[in-house]
Amino acid sequence: MTKIKNDNFLRACRREATDYTPIWLMRQAGRYMAEYRKLREKADFLTMCKTPELAAEVTMQPINRFDLDAAIIFADILLPVEGMGINLEFKEKTGPIIHNPVRNRKDIDALRIIDAERDVPYLSKAISLVKQELNNKIPLIGFSSAPFTLASYMIEGGHSRNYLETKQMFYNEPEMWNDLMTKIVDVLIISLKAQVEAGVDVLQLFDSWVGCLSTGDYREYVLPHSKRLIDSVKGEGLPIIHFGTDTATLLTSMKEAGGDVIGADWRINLDEAWKMIGDDVGIQGNIDPLILFSNQKEIEKRVKDILNRAEGRPGHIFNLGHGILPKTPIDNVAFLIDTVHNLSRK
């Protein structure tokens, strides 16, 4: 394997010493960048995801603009569901809509297990293009949804406030729930392994909705399925980042499910989160994305606080507590990245 020139991110994933604290930003390719908005005028979101050349171009936009330590392929966690037989649409200002939500046994039985080459070939092609473009400068992250978040989308039919349909299924029909989660994990294993074969260097699981659960519900209805997914792909030999939002009460259970690095959002202090998960895994996070709408003095103060809480221990990857928001001031993004590098440089 050809060595990555800037491997600080990979070393942090392995809890090895780094030259400085590496940083990348969730949703670092997106609407806050003028380059992205210009491209979006020519193509809708799904077209961009499904056109390898466009997906590669978007992936590289923040890499060409900022001194980031990792790229992440431009895609979406819902892309595999179309191959499962789900009718997916992305609406402007509304987000993803599933027109045939999964609500009963018949719906679950009808779901197909995807073939990556047939159903998501564009993702592997985009990864190959980005790897060529990066030329081993920095690592490339591949990703998927975690099982619970994907199941919730499929059941609710889109965004949800209370996850009524999802919780009704696992409370009232636990066998049906487990059958759905089993199919979803099978699909996610295929998707992640295809990304590994295409050349990604790290995998991240996004459990963006799992914070709606109690610890008991997570452990009963989610943990076994997330663990099976992680166990099934860790044999590929790549670091795995396990991330969720609003998960301060779930971190120890998420660590039990697996991952070399556990992501923490801004609702818990970094040192408290690291104490919960233990020193045998790395941690990713965890500045509030809205801090980037403040002034640079405040940004520097928050960066110092997080770095002080990390205490220079190997295994810290600096990131936002969730994705970067549209309209985020571009100069503040550059300032954040440079400040993390400058204040943590050994």
DSSP 43-85: S-HHHHHH-HHHHHHHHHHHHHHS--S-EE----TTGGGGGGT
- Asked if residue 259 belongs to a domain, the reply is yes
Task: Say whether 15 is catalytic.
Answer: no
CA atoms within 13 A on the CB side of 277: 32
| Catalytic residue selected from 14, 20, 31, 122 | 31
The answer to whether residue 11 is catalytic is no
Q: What is the pLDDT of residue 116?
A: 97
3-state secondary structure of 317: strand
pTM of the model: 0.97
How far apart are alpha carbons 225 and 144 in whole angstroms?
14
Answer yes or no: is 110 within a domain.
yes
Among 36, 153, 218, 221, which one carries the catalytic annotation?
A: 153
Q: Name the nearest CA neighbour of 199 among 122, 121, 124.
A: 124
pLDDT given for residue 94 in this prediction: 80
Those residues whose C-beta lies under 8 Å from the C-beta of residue 259, and which sit 6 or more positions away, are 205, 230, 240, 241, 242, 281
Tell whether 77 is covered by a domain: yes
What is the domain extent for residue 62?
A: 8-344
Whether residue 1 is contained in a domain is answered as no
Q: Which of 27, 218, 221, 260 is catalytic?
A: 27
Number of folded domains in the chain? Answer: 1
Catalytic choice (14, 40, 65, 267): 40
d(CA 11, CA 202): 11
The DSSP H or E segment spanning 312 is: none
Q: Does some domain include residue 265?
A: yes
Q: What is the CATH number of the domain that holds 327?
A: 3.20.20.210
List C-alpha distances in Å: 255 to 236, 263, 267.
Answer: 19, 10, 17
228 is catalytic: no
Q: Tell me the two tokens of residue 319.
A: 């990131």
219 noted as active-site residue: no
Find, among 206, 191, 163, 244, the residue nearest to 79 by Cα: 191
Give the per-residue pLDDT at 1. 59
Q: Tens-digit pLDDT profile for the chain (346 aa)?
A: 579 999 999 999 999 999 999 999 999 999 999 999 999 999 999 999 999 999 999 999 999 999 999 999 999 999 999 999 999 999 887 889 999 999 999 999 999 999 999 999 999 999 999 999 999 999 999 999 999 999 999 999 999 989 999 999 999 999 999 999 999 999 999 999 999 999 999 999 999 999 999 999 999 999 999 999 999 999 999 999 999 999 999 999 999 999 999 999 999 999 999 999 999 999 999 999 999 999 999 999 999 999 999 999 999 999 999 999 999 999 999 999 999 999 999 8
